[in-house]
């Protein structure tokens, strides 16, 4: 694989991950673009002790354009896209409409908050494009292409983790308009957060409490218990196990754990990286076979923070869908959106059984 870095017309970085051996000569971006957005800020919720990102400039971002106007397709004569190349394999570039922006020394004006509880929304948001084929999905990729995507995730995790002020790197994919996707082209995103996210903080607190009370590794114990029980295991390989968690919140929810505890993607061995693609593609194809229609989903990598909890955290992938039947979606109920208490209408054991039986 060859890695080539270049710049777009407004100065944003773009990185090509090419599977061939031929060196890439990046084409210049001929567009005339306005300056990149800098208006993001963060506000601290004192009741939940969580940061909320305010990014009002994202209201004008591209929303479900027609396929012949997709900004993630290769550029052609007469139509310049976000990727100034006639062909590509995997590409990462800074988001034109980011939730978090590089630190430009922005000073926030007074809005009458009761106490200093605001910061500039510094960080970085990137788009990771998995294929030049507009009509493909991740499940259509070859194991070799998944290996390239994995190399890109690792490259960007290392690069973003090294940026000043970054505390956590989050790689994820949303698929399907039902889940909120605004571009149909197969792609994911990568966020570099200036704080440890609430979900990760809670998992670290749980892992710490478990270790103090039992001396054990919470994530390893969960994986061991699921593998021994077997009833919720969907598929397994030499280095990974995919299972429906015992307390699944979503109608369809699958977690993929490497058998060896590692804190993040860069810590995976070469064999673990290659093995992941085969199992993940198998799981994705089972998901699409479950209801006979492409399943909308969120696929989220949980990695350890950059500077803390790395000896406790266990890298894993969480994949979930809001589709609970071929013609029905799950919407958050009042208990879920108001109190955070999830109610799942589908038994996790039943979901696991049906996924095992689904023909990928």
Cβ–Cβ under 8 Å, residues 181 and 61: no
Is 248 found in the same domain as 184?
Answer: no
pLDDT digits (tens, 9 = 90+) for 126-170: 999 999 999 999 999 999 999 999 999 999 999 999 999 999 999
Q: Are residues 293 and 324 in the same domain?
A: yes
Could you give the 3-state DSSP secondary structure of residue 83? Answer: strand
Residues 98 and 38 grouped into a single domain:
yes
The string of pLDDT tens digits covering residues 321-339 is: 999 999 999 999 999 999 9
- Position 305 confidence tier, pLDDT thresholds 50, 70, 90: very high
Residues 244-262, mean pLDDT to the nearest whole number = 98
Say yes or no: 83 and 142 in one domain: yes
Q: How many CB atoms are closer than 10 A to CB 270?
A: 8
Tell me, yes or no, whether 145 and 266 share the same domain.
Answer: no
pLDDT at 209: 98
Considering the domain architecture, whether residues 143 and 191 belong to the same structural domain is answered as yes
Radius of gyration of the chain (CA): 21
Asked whether residue 313 falls in the same domain as residue 227, the answer is yes
Predicted confidence at residue 35, as pLDDT, reads 83
Distances (CA, A) of 302 to 84, 113, 132, 189: 31, 33, 27, 14
Same domain (yes/no): 129, 229: no
Same domain (yes/no): 70, 56: yes
- pLDDT of 340 above 80: yes
User: How far is Cα 127 from Cα 93, in angstroms, rounded to an integer?
Assistant: 5
Collapse the DSSP code of 178 into the 3-class scheme (helix H, G, I; strand E, B; otherwise coil) and give the result. helix
CATH of the domain at 227: 3.30.428.10
Among residues 195, 216, 239, which one ends one of the domains? Answer: 195
Distance CA 120, CA 128 (A): 25
What is the crossing angle of helices 270-290 and 143-161, to 10°? 120
Helix (H), strand (E) at residue 273: helix 270-290
**Average pLDDT value over all residues in the chain:** 94
Catalytic residue list contains 211:
no
Task: Among 138, 165, 195, give the residue marking a domain's end.
Answer: 195
**pLDDT tens-place string over residues 48-75:** 999 999 987 776 666 667 878 999 999 9
CA distance linking residue 211 with residue 249, whole number of Å: 25
For the chain, what is the domain count?
A: 2
Strand partners, 248: none
Domain of residue 213, residue span: 199-357
- The reported pLDDT for the residue numbered 112 is 78
Select from 143, 167, 195 the last residue of a domain. Answer: 195
Residues 235 and 189 grouped into a single domain: no
143: which residues sit within 8 A by CB, 6+ positions away? Answer: 274, 277, 278, 281
What is the mean pLDDT of the segment spanning 251-265? Answer: 98
Top pLDDT among 5 and 180 is at 5
Selecting among 184, 187, 302, 316, the annotated active-site residue is: 187
Q: Residues 127, 115: one domain? A: yes
| In a shared domain, residues 205 and 189 | no
- Listed residue (129, 176, 126) closest to 149, CA to CA: 129
């Amino acid at each position: 694989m060859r890695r080539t870095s270049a710049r777009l017309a407004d100065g944003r970085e773009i990185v090509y991950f090419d599977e061939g051996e031929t060196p890439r000569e990046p084409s210049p971006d001929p567009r005339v673009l306005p300056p990149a957005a800098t208006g993001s800020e963060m506000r601290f919720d004192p009741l939940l002790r969580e940061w909320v990102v305010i990014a009002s400039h994202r209201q004008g971002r591209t929303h479900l354009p027609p396929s012949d106007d997709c900004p993630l397709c290769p550029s052609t004569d007469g139509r310049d896209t976000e990727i100034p190349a006639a062909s590509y394999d995997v590409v990462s570039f800074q988001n034109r409409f980011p939730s978090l922006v590089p630190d430009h020394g922005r000073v926030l004006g007074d809005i009458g908050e009761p106490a200093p509880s605001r910061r500039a929304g510094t960080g970085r948001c990137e788009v990771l494009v998995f294929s030049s084929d507009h009509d493909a999905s991740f499940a259509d990729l070859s194991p070799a292409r998944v290996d390239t995507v994995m190399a890109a995730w690792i490259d960007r995790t290392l690069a973003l983790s090294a940026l000043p002020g970054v505390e956590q790197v989050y790689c994820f994919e949303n698929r399907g308009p039902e889940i909120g996707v605004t571009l149909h082209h197969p792609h994911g995103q990568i966020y570099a957060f200036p704080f440890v996210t609430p979900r990760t903080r809670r998992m670290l607190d749980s892992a710490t409490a478990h270790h103090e009370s039992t001396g054990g590794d919470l994530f390893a114990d969960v994986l061991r218990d699921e593998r021994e029980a077997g009833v919720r295991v969907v598929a397994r390989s030499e280095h990974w196990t995919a299972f429906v968690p015992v307390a699944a919140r979503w109608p369809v929810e699958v977690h993929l754990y490497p058998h060896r505890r590692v804190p993040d993607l860069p810590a995976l061995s070469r064999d673990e990286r290659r093995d992941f693609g085969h199992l993940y593609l198998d799981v994705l194809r089972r998901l699409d076979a479950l209801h006979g229609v492409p399943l909308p989903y969120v696929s989220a990598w949980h990695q350890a923070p950059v500077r803390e909890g790395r000896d406790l955290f266990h890298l894993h992938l969480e994949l979930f869908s809001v589709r609970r039947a071929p013609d029905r979606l799950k919407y958050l109920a009042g208990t879920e959106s108001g109190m955070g208490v999830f109610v799942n209408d589908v038994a996790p054991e039943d979901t696991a059984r049906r996924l095992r039986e689904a023909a990928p």
